[in-house]
Amino acid sequence: MSATREDVGGTPLPPGWAKPAHQPDAFELTTTTFAERAAKTMARPFARGAIANATDHAAALTTARFVGTDHEALREEARKIRAHAIANLPDYLDQWIDQAERKGTIVHYAADESEARRIVAQICTDQQITRVVKSKSMASEEVSLNSALEAVGVDIYETDLGEFVVQAMGDRPGHVIAPILHRTKDEVHELFSAMAGHELPNEAEALTAFAREGLRHAFLTADAGISGGNFLIAETGDVLLVTNEGNGRLTTSLPPIHIALVGIEKVLPRRRDLAVLLPLLTGHGTGQQITTYVSVSAGPRRQGEPDGPEQMHVVLLDAGRSALLGGEFEEALHCIRCGACQNVCPVYRQVGGHAYGWVYGGPIGAVLTPLFRGQEEAGELAQATTLCGACDDVCPVKIPLHDLLLNLRRRSDAEGHVPRHEQVAFALWAQVWSRPLLYRASTAVARGSLRALARNGVVSAKSPLLRRWTAGRDLVVGKRPR
Amino acid sequence: MPDDVGMTAAVQLFPTCIGDVVAQQTATDAERVLDALGIDHHRPSATTCCGQPAYNSGHDGPARAVAKATLKALDDGSDLPILVPSGSCTSMVRLHWRELFHGTPEAEAATRIARRVRELSSYLAEHTDALRELKPSLAVRVGYHDSCHMLRELRIKEAPREVLQTVAGLELVELDSSERCCGFGGTFSGRYPDVSVAMADTKIDDMVAAKIDVLVSSDPGCLMQLAGRMSRQGTPVRAVHLATLMAEALA
Amino acid sequence: MTDRASFLAAIRSTPRGLDPGLPDRREAPDAPTQLRAGEERPDRLQAEAEAASTIVHRVTAVDVGATVASVLVQADAQRIALTTDLAPFADDVQAALVAAGLTVTEYVEVAPDRARAGALDATVTGCIAAVAATGSVVTSAAGAGRAGALIAPTHICVVRDEQIVGGLHELFDGDALAEAGSLFALQSGPSRSADIEKVLILGVHGPGNVHLIIVAPD
């Protein structure tokens, strides 16, 4: 299918420019702890500073964007739309499929991650697709799509600038909408200069231009474009995609085949619901009035249209989503992946996205990862928050993240995933502190011990019992009250 | 104060477990402020802990067992306000006990107590005129830390500031990060000490930049965290409970 | 292989969650993406478009051709394509460009060959609507094509005053989208990225030079 691949514009990237994509089993969830992963980011002072700066900046823009409007009413309406869509998910999916097929979209059904990989790989094999341009998709990260396509001989080009860097480095995105939040310009400069074979100017503009030239060539020669989808509109069979760079629309317009991989929870009933959800998605995502490119497509190119793909495939992805329906975690499916909860999370701000060990970071990651990957593998993430509630206050669709996190902690306890020592500790604690006399005795002992350890009202000795506290902090106990 | 004078008290005071173990001064100072205002107070003798450490770790059984002891101690048949010098513990009793005791014989009592508990500063904020008449005075530059549960669950933001502003000579500075979590997070501080300390540091950097003398908050947990870190680092900022600052200003 | 029936059956077999009902809104929601009371549509469109780094020209019908020509001369555009939705201004634009010594092609002719489309310096399109409160132009697959508005480094869009809707609510509730074809798209200013250390770069994969010509009613 790729007839001429020379002289089409842009500059082909050198062979082997991209590091192999991570395999489905290459996530670090099972082999490392949150603390270990967090330590890696915290050891890089730039990354920490950059994450804090970028998230503070985004959070401030979001706040500013809604000044003078009834933000709360808008969020409440969005919550209702999402809750209604999810409560009626099978009906709306059914409607969406009817409409999409009527417009010529070929719909596929992936019950789990491996089926999604298999379906897309099969389309590539059947259609002799050897080169793919890809617009940023978190769903494809979830299923580790790139490695599956590499395995069947497909060259993949991530076309979002940040994702391109991620792919070239063999890294993983650090933020839902800002994938290389944790990377410096110097790192990108070094990477791109090596790809170019000569020293590029160390400026964002020149570095962007380099990526653009390479990706331009890919856009003009790719056999297929693969995207995610921000929303599916049931009444019209639409797939909606937002990007700022324009790569989303080029991905879905230039190659002869468009394949979209979309989670089933992305359904909205009607186009008019976008008047509520779009300003929230973009306002909470980047703080923009609207994302630069909002593209809404249904089906392949029609008669008389000047351009567009000959085939449009949509792969509907379940992969753990339907299991949440009707249960105490259903509201996690309301998420529209704006990233706002990451931007306000005081923990994310310190540790970045990779600490969460899988695809999603921050509060929503701490909720979704245990739900999608299992409590045993990822239950710890729900403990890695202070339950400060900042995420609840910023979520554009009012997901009660604090409650979901707390429920996950309860479920860990109920299902026996809590370490033995913790269970014993709390059981003992309850034995003593549920009895006022024992409580008084224990607090008197504790006070006495602390005062014995204290010098001038401060305990700083690294006593074994207090080790986890006193490693970085003193315990200021003060003098006996006056 | 002996236990049996509760009959004449106007308010009860629940010192909380951190108050009993680490921050004893807080309840004592709260009593001094109440004394100055002429408000009779009483500490029920048998309170323990509100159960939050276990509740927020997902262990409802142990949480209920411990909270039940405190519930029994507080449920004295009166309808006196129960003042709690901790936003977080107030939030636990006021908002989460109902769920914790749902379907248990204590459900009704839990609702009763939930209605009675008051976060200390929000109670004092109703007495700012009386406080002003007492001419509290202290020449300090103060920053206030909004503790998470008090701010986002109880939605109390202005009350502590109104109380602080009754103090002559006190300059209240709004910190950029006043609403950001200090990193304590109960058991989080022990599970992830490095992350927890790093979170405290960003707050402390902000306090140093704002050149405050004293950081005031209404949560002994946050204060334990911030004071502990500042003590270790030798940061020249005092971290004290609002009750302590007010007691000093009234002394 | 999971098919439609088994896929949906698995979802249907789950318990049903709480349904607050679909809000039945009559009025536009109070969002930043709505026109505010007392605002004129072309004024808000201009303000929002400029805030998104679009260069706005407000002209009457007779000046459309000359405005397009002057932008393209300034941009030093050699390979220029017009899309079919530029009508009723297509002839005027064509004439003005020829007068300025520029050669013009039809996008419909170039588009089937990606390499040719990709080599364009500029496209000039119409639109099916513009959204005042977001500073967006709305193009359609049937008119400007899917890529017509963003394949070249310079994009000029011509919008007639009566095509401007106030906000997103009006766009989605109105009938402007009815004949869009397989795709409609909102574009609001130049392509942009701030992925590298938050430095804003215009013109990443789409155009960096974006012009909006608002044509006043006669």
In a domain, A83, yes or no: yes
- Of all residues in chain A, the one with the smallest CA distance to C106 is A306
In a domain, B129, yes or no: no
Question: Do B and C have ≥3 inter-chain CB pairs under 8 A?
Answer: no
Q: At residue A52, does pLDDT exceed 50?
A: yes
Provide the pLDDT for residue B3. Answer: 45
**How close B62 comes to chain A (CA, Å)?**
5
- Is B93 found in the same domain as B28? yes
Q: How many domains does chain B have?
A: 2
Name the CATH code of domain C39-215 (choices 3.40.50.2000, 3.30.70.270, 3.40.50.10420, 3.30.70.980): 3.40.50.10420
Last residue of a domain, one of A293, A322, A351: A322
Identify the sign of the CA torsion B64, B65, B70, B74: positive
The pLDDT tens digits of the residues spanning A244-278 come to 999 999 999 999 999 999 999 999 999 999 999 99
Last residue of a domain, one of B71, B98, B123: B123
Of C18, C136, C207, the CB nearest to A290: C136
**Are B66 and A351 within 8 A, CB to CB?**
no
Last residue of a domain, one of B123, B154, B172: B123
Amino acid at B94: R
**Would an 8 Å CB–CB cutoff place A350 in contact with chain B?**
yes
Task: Say what percent of chain A tops pLDDT 90.
Answer: 84
- Of all residues in chain C, the one with the smallest CA distance to A308 is C146
Provide the pLDDT for residue A482. Answer: 57
- Is B47 found in the same domain as B69? yes
> Could you tell me which of B77, B1, B76 has the C-alpha nearest to residue B42?
B1
**Are A69 and C30 within 8 A, CB to CB?**
yes
Provide the pLDDT for residue A422. Answer: 93
What residues of chain C lie within 8 A of the CB of A57, using their CB?
A: 198
Q: At residue A464, does pLDDT exceed 80?
A: no
- Is B145 found in the same domain as B119? no
Chain B adjacent subunits, 3+ CB pairs under 8 A: A
The pLDDT tens digits of the residues spanning C192-217 come to 999 998 899 999 999 999 999 999 99
Provide the pLDDT for residue A1. Answer: 40
Interface of B with A in 191-220 (CB under 8 A): 191-200, 202
Q: How confident is the model at residue A439 (pLDDT cuts 50, 70, 90)?
A: very high
- Is A438 found in the same domain as A314? no
Residue B170 is part of a domain; what is its CATH number? Answer: 3.40.50.11810
Q: How many domains does chain A have?
A: 2
Residue A137 is part of a domain; what is its CATH number? Answer: 3.40.50.10420
In a domain, A163, yes or no: yes
**Are A74 and C30 within 8 A, CB to CB?**
yes
Q: Domain extents for chain C?
A: 39-215
Of B21, B190, B225, the CB nearest to A443: B21
Interface of B with A in 129-158 (CB under 8 A): 148-149, 152-153
Q: What is the ipTM of this complex?
A: 0.97
What integer is the mean pLDDT of A154-161?
A: 97
Q: How confident is the model at residue A45 (pLDDT cuts 50, 70, 90)?
A: confident
**Are B148 and A443 within 8 A, CB to CB?**
no
The pLDDT tens digits of the residues spanning A368-388 come to 999 999 988 899 999 999 999
Domain extent at residue B233: 135-250
In a domain, A95, yes or no: yes
**Would an 8 Å CB–CB cutoff place B25 in contact with chain A?**
yes
- Is B118 found in the same domain as B158? no
Q: How confident is the model at residue A72 (pLDDT cuts 50, 70, 90)?
A: very high
Last residue of a domain, one of A290, A305, A322: A322
In a domain, A472, yes or no: yes
Is the full-model pTM beyond 0.80?
yes
Q: Choose between A160 and B3: higher pLDDT.
A: A160
Q: What is the DSSP annotation of chain B? A: --GGGGGG-SEEE---HHHHHT-HHHHHHHHHHHHHHT--EE--TT----SHHHHTTT-HHHHHHHHHHHHHHH--S----EEES-HHHHHIIIIIHHHHTTTSTTHHHHHHHHHHEEEHHHHHGGGHHHHHHT--EEEEEEEE---HHHHHTS---HHHHHHHTTSEEEEEE--TTTTS--S-TTTHHHHSHHHHHHHHHHHHHHHHHTT-SEEEES-HHHHHHHHHHHHHHT-S-EEEEHHHHHHHHH-
Identify the sign of the CA torsion A398, A344, A381, B192: negative
Domain extent at residue A246: 24-322
In a domain, B128, yes or no: no
What residues of chain A lie within 8 A of the CB of B186, using their CB?
A: 386-387
Provide the pLDDT for residue C26. Answer: 80
- Is B17 found in the same domain as B116? yes
- Is B108 found in the same domain as B11? yes
Q: Checking phi first, is residue C139 left (phi over 0); if not, alpha (psi -120 to 50) or beta?
A: beta
The pLDDT tens digits of the residues spanning A100-136 come to 999 999 999 999 999 999 999 999 999 999 999 999 8
**How close C163 comes to chain A (CA, Å)?**
18
- Is B150 found in the same domain as B117? no
Last residue of a domain, one of B75, B98, B123: B123
Q: At residue B44, does pLDDT exceed 50?
A: yes
**Would an 8 Å CB–CB cutoff place C178 in contact with chain A?**
no
Distance CA A154, CA A222 (A): 10
How many CB pairs below 8 A link A and B? Answer: 180
Q: At residue B6, does pLDDT exceed 60?
A: no
Q: Cis (ω within 30 of 0) for the bond into A279?
A: no
Task: Say what percent of chain A tops pLDDT 70.
Answer: 98
